Chain A
Amino acid sequence: MHVPDGFIDAPVSLATGALAATAVATALRGARRELDDRAAPLAGLVAAFVFAVQMLNFPVAAGTSGHLLGGALAAILVGPYTAVLCISVVLLMQGVLFADGGLTALGVNITDMGVVTTLVAYGTFRVLLTLLPRRRPSVTAASFVAALVSVPAAACAFTLIYALGGTTDVPLGKVFTAMVGVHVLIGVGEAVITALTVGAVIAVRPDLVHGARGLVRPLELRTVVAGQAAPTPGPTPVPVRRSTRRVWAAGLLAALVCAGGVSYYASTSPDGLEKVAHDKGLDRKAEEHAAKGSPLADYQVADVSDARISGGLAGVIGVGATLAAGTGVLLVVRRRRAHPAPPAAEAPAEAPATGSV
C-alpha cells in the first residue's frame, strides 16, 4: 500500500506531511517515556524486526502469499508510541533508500500506515482488554480483533486522503469498495498471524508484551529462615480462580442496555451512506439483501408498529443471538480442549495458567 509520487496532489501531500510530523514528534516524546534512554537501540531493533518480518511470506493458497504489515503487532508488543516511531522509521528508510513509496508521499504513507493502523489497533486492543476477563487468551483474542480492524481502517484512511487530494476522478465508491474489500481479506490474514505471534511471545516472555503488562504478577522475594528445620508449609497458596460470572453478567447487561436503549433513542432515518446511495439513485441496482425477508431485516422487528420500540427490540434480540452463538462456539472449543486429555491427573498442571509467574 506504499503510495507513489504523483498519486496524491501537492497540497494534500504537504498537509499529511505536517500531520505525520506532528504524530512522530508526539511519538518521540511518548517513546522516551515508554523506554527512557533505551529508546534508540530498542526502537531501532524493533524497527529492524518490523522490516524483517515484512519479508516473512505467508502462503495463502495455490501459490499466492502475503506478508505481514506489522502495525498492530508492533503496537501490541512494544506500545503505541514506539510502534508509530518504528513504522515511521521503516517507511522513511523504505522511501529514501529503496524508493518504495514516494518522497513527497511520505506524509501520506506515515499517516496512513504508521499512525492510523497503530492507533486503531491499539485503541481496539485496549478497549477489548478492559471488556474481556484478564487472562492470557483474552490478549490473543484482542490482538486478533485489533489487527483485523486496523488494516481496513488504513484502507478507509487512504480513501479519505484520496477523496481530498486524488489526482484521478475514479468514483470514490469504487475506490472505497476496492480498497476496503481487498484489505478486509488482507486483514484476516494479518489478524491470524498477529494473534498467533502475540500468543507465541506471551508463552515465552510475557513480560515483553506491552499490551499484557497488567497480566503478569511481579516476582516476589521469598526468604527461608535458616534456623527452621523444615519451613512450615503454611496454608498452601490455592490459585485463586476469579469468577468470571460477574464480568459476564455485567457485560451482558451493558450490551443489552446499549442495544435496546441506544437503538430506542437512535434516529430511525437511514444512515449517511444509505441515504447518499438512495438520493443519488445508486442503490437502484443494489440487489435486495438475502435476509430481507428475515424478521430482523434492517434492524426492525416485523409486526411491531412503533419504529423505535421495534428497533430496540431488534437490538436486544440481536445481542441475545450473538451471545448464544458466541457461547456455543465457546462451549464447543472448551469441549474439544477437554476431550483429548484423558489422563485427568495432568490437567491441574495446566490449570493455574492465570496465576503463573
Chain B
Amino acid sequence: MGAGHGSGTAHRLYRPGRSPVHALPPHCKLLAVLSFVLVVVSTPRTAVWAFALYAALLAAVAATARIPAAVLLRRLLIEVPFVAFAVLMPFVATGDRVRVLGLSLSEPGLWGAWNVLAKGTLGVAASVVLAATTELRALLLGLQRLRLPPLLVQIASFMIRYGDVVADELRRMRVARASRGFRARGVRQWGVLARTAGTLFIRAYERGERVHLAMVSRGYAGAVPVIDEVTASRAQWGQAVALPLVALVVCAGGWAYAAG
C-alpha cells in the first residue's frame, strides 16, 4: 500500500482514467450514488426484473468508466459474510414452507434472502464504482460540499492520510515479533498482541501530537483552507442525476407491478 508522497492521495482503490464518469464532480457522484441506493432499497422485492434492470444500469456506468468486470467482481467479494447470513434465512424464518431439493424452506425467508442479496450486492457495486472513479481527496471535498461538518472531513482526511502509516507501523511490529520467534497460536499469546495494540495506540497518539504541532507552526488555526474548490455545471448535474432518475422510473414500475 504505498501511501502516496507528494502528489499523493492515489490509493489502491482508485483507478485513474479519463472517462466521463471520472470527470464528474465528486459531490454530484456522491449524491447520485446515495439516491440510487435509496431507490434500490425502497423497491419491492417481488419485482425481480427491476433488480436486473438496476444491475444493467450499474454495468453500463461501469462500462462507461472503463472498469474491468473482473475488478468489479473481485471487489464485490467483500459482502461474502452477508451471503452466508442470507443463506441461513430460509431455514430460520417463519411462514409457509416450500420443499426445495428435499429441504423444507420458509417462503418468506427465501424472499428475505433474495431481498438482502439483491439490494446488498447492488449497494456494494455502486460504492465500488464510486470509489474506483473518484480520488480520495476529491471524495472528501465532495463530502464537505454536501455540508458534512468541516471538522469531520478533516478527521476523515487525517485518517486516510495516516491510515497506511499506522498500518505499516503495525506491520513492522509484526515483522519484529516474528523475527524473534513469536507465533500467535492461541489465547496464551493475547498478552503480547494486546501490548502491540497498546504500543500502536501510543505511537499513533504521539504522531498526532507531532502532526498538530507541525501544523500549528505553519499557521493552522482549526481550519484547512480549500484551494481546489470544485463546482458543477448544469450539464454535469444532468449527467449525474441520470442514473438515479432512470432507477426511479424502474422503481415506480416495480411498485406498479407489485400492486397489480
A-to-B contact residues, CB < 8 Å = 4-7, 9-10, 13, 24-25, 28, 31-32, 37-49, 51-53, 55-61, 68, 73, 77-78, 85-86, 88-90, 92-93, 95-100, 102-104, 167-171, 174, 192-193, 196-201, 204-205, 208
Contacts and interface: CB of A to CB of B under 8 A. Distances in A.
A201 B5 CA distance: 31
Interface in B174-221: 184-187, 189-191, 193-202, 204-205, 207-209, 211-212, 215-216, 220-221
A141 to B, nearest CB: 15
Contacts of A198: 198
15 contacts: A4-B116, A5-B37, A6-B119, A37-B220, A40-B151, A41-B208, A42-B205, A45-B207, A55-B167, A56-B170, A85-B152, A100-B78, A103-B126, A200-B199, A201-B202
Contacts of B191: 196
A93 B37 CA distance: 17
A102 B123 contact: yes
Given A6-B41, A45-B158, A96 B163 contact: no
A322 to B, nearest CB: 26
Interface residues of B, number: 89
Given A100-B78, A192-B190, A55 B93 contact: no
B93 A37 contact: no
B238 interface: no
Interface in B109-127: 109, 111-113, 115-116, 118-120, 122-127
A73 B128 CA distance: 30
A40 B37 contact: no
A67 to B, nearest CB: 10
A77 B201 contact: yes
Given A28-B152, A103-B123, A167-B112, A45 B157 contact: no
A-B complex: 3 closest residue pairs judged by Cβ atoms: A44-B158, A6-B119, A168-B112
Contacts of B196: 56
Contact of B13 (A38, A51, A97, A171): A97
B144 interface: no
Given A44-B158, A104-B41, A193 B194 contact: yes
Interface of B: 13, 30, 33-34, 37-38, 40-42, 45, 75, 78-79, 82, 89, 92-95, 108-109, 111-113, 115-116, 118-120, 122-128, 130-131, 136, 139, 143, 149, 151-152, 154-163, 165-167, 169-170, 184-187, 189-191, 193-202, 204-205, 207-209, 211-212, 215-216, 220-222, 224
B202 A96 contact: no
A97 B195 CA distance: 30
A52 B184 contact: no
Nearest to A102: B123
A103 B37 contact: yes
A98 B208 contact: no
